[in-house]
Every structure is written in structure tokens, then in C-alpha cells.
Amino acid sequence: MYQKELETAIKAVTQAADLCVNVRTDMVNPDAMEKGDRSPVTIADFGAQAIICKILSEAFPDDVIVGEEDTTALQKPGNAATLIKIIDYIQQFYPDATEDAICEWIDRGTGSVAERYWTVDPIDGTKGFLRNDQYAIALALVENGEVKVGALACPALSFDLDEPDSPKGVLFTAVRGEGSREALLHSNDFTPIHVVSERNPDKLRFLESVEAGHANHALNQAIARAVGIVQPSLRMDSQAKYGALARGDATLYLRLPSEKTPNYAENIWDHAAGSIIAEEAGGKVSDMYGRPLDFSTDRKMRNNRGVIVSNGSLHQAVLNAIAEKVAV
């Protein structure tokens, strides 16, 4: 079941990842962050969404796609140069692609949450992308509010996080009820992955976002210590954290509301693909109150607050620690 959906998702995120790698190789430089130059991530974002929407639409023409981008800004005269670059990169894969076709592909991602829909984040972890660090291309199929298929391409993630010379570029996939797998990008050698027990002291560590705006680092550390995790956190951009936890690199991922944005509502595309990969690997995913993540109502997860991902056995202890330390 869902074999065609899985194969299509793998093709889509792999090809989108190739485009993102090309853009980053050509355009990202060490001082891009200081100069505030977001043009590389803008080009990669639009280009990746165009490719994913094209591939999905050809395979499933009736399916709704809920994406992050649309072409409203690109159509403005001042952005003509950016649009030309997007076209150039997409034509590396589809030489006959026209401007009109590419814009149409991008705008296929402007759908609304439906009974069955795909949600795509063409680049999750924009600052990681610009920093030459972690980012992900995330795609998930949702039916009746439940994620059924997830694919997560992480071009900069090492196949073995603890081995410096390990090859980079990892693809995670999951189908509901069929487990999670990983492989190197462009490899068909998928292997099942599983969360790790906290009885493994080397992996008793937690993941959190690099950016302070996306994480309350002090609170995260206090929660981790309360459940027996004393090692320093692994700070990582994007949904690559979900994949790392799913394959046993850590036992906990905390995304609690920051002090600057206490009422922030998460985007569905920032968690849908990662959540099924963690769950199908034996982990547990909820918000900070223990509620399932809601992918059924809106582009924003307005019925949730924060995200907690664990190896499963730690989950209730983490929720108890949060209840004690966070004013709700």
C-alpha cells in the first residue's frame, strides 16, 4: 500500500535535493549570513518546490499540495533576475521548461488542507542552508489528518553522525505501519532504522534547534537534565533532527516555545514528514501537553504548542518535567 506514493516522494525530494546542492555549491559563501544575502535560499526554495510539485502533479493530478511558496513575489518587476536564475537551475533538469510552466508548478503548492493532501517544505532550515550546515527537503502525504508517507532528504547530514569521515547525504522514508528506513541519497540500499534505548549511555543526549529564536536552550537543558540526560545537546537545523533521532543518534528532541515567541504556531510542513519517520522508527511525537500533532485543520498547527519527540519510553517523564517547569 502507498508504494506509488513512496516511489514518487523519493523521486521528488531526491531531485529537489540535487537542485539545492547545485545552488548552494554555486552561490553560498561564508559571509552570506552577515550580508543578509538570502538569494541562494530563495532560488533553491522556489526551484525545489517547482520540481516537487511537477513530479507530484504528474503522478497524482487530483491531489492537493500545500507548500510554503507561491509566485506572487517573483512576478514583481524587481525580482526578474531571481526568476531567471530559478529557471536556469530548473532547466538543468528539464531543459524545455518555460517560465510559465515553472510558475505554474510552484503555484500548485498553494492548496489548502484537505481530506488527502501533500505538504512540502522545499528547504527546511534556511539558515542552515546559508551556513553550509544542515537543511532538509521534506515531503509528506496526509490523509484524514494522519501522515501516511514521509520522505526527508538531508544533503548535508552524515550517514554516521559520530564518524567525521562518514559520507554525507541521507534520505529517510516512512510509510504508516511499515517502519522507517534510511539510505544514502541516490542509493537504493535502504536499511530499517529504529530509535535507541536510554540504556545506551552514548546516545542519551538530546537534539534542539541551532537558532535561539526557535528554541529555549536553557529550558531545554533543564528538561533534559530532569529526565537524566546530562550530555551537551546536539544542535541541528531542520527536520534532520527527526531523522537523527529515528536512527538512534539521540533519545530526545525538544522544540519548546521560546521566550520571544511564546504563542508561536508551528507550520504543518515543518513537522509532517519528520513525525512519521520518528514514529515508524518506534519513537513518540506530541506537543508539550502530550497531544498528537494536528495536521487536519490548517497550514498552522494552531491546536498544538511546542513539539516533543522521544524514543518513546522517555516521553511521559519529559511531559511530567515540562508540566513542572513551564507555566501553562
Q: Report, as ranges of residue numbers, the positions in the chain whose pLDDT lies below 50.
A: 32-35
For residue 30, what pLDDT is reported? 58
- Catalytic residues, by residue number, are 45, 126
CA–chain centroid gap for 86, Å, is 22
φ/ψ (deg, to 5) at 138: -120, 135
CA distance 52 to 105: 8
The full set of domains in the chain, from first to last, is: 3-193 (3.30.540.10), 201-325 (3.40.190.80)
150: number of CA atoms within 13 Å, CB side?
34
**How do residues 154-182 score in pLDDT, each as one tens digit?**
999 999 998 989 999 999 999 999 999 99
Whole-number average pLDDT of the chain: 93
**How do residues 220-277 score in pLDDT, each as one tens digit?**
999 999 999 999 999 999 999 999 999 999 999 999 987 676 678 899 999 999 999 9
> Is residue 209 within a helix (H) or strand (E), and if so which, with residue range?
none
Buried b (16+ CB within 10 A) or exposed e, 172-182: bbbbbeeebbb
Give pTM, 2 decimals.
0.94
**E-assigned strand segments in 216-289:** 234-235, 252-255, 284-286
For residue 164, what pLDDT is reported? 82
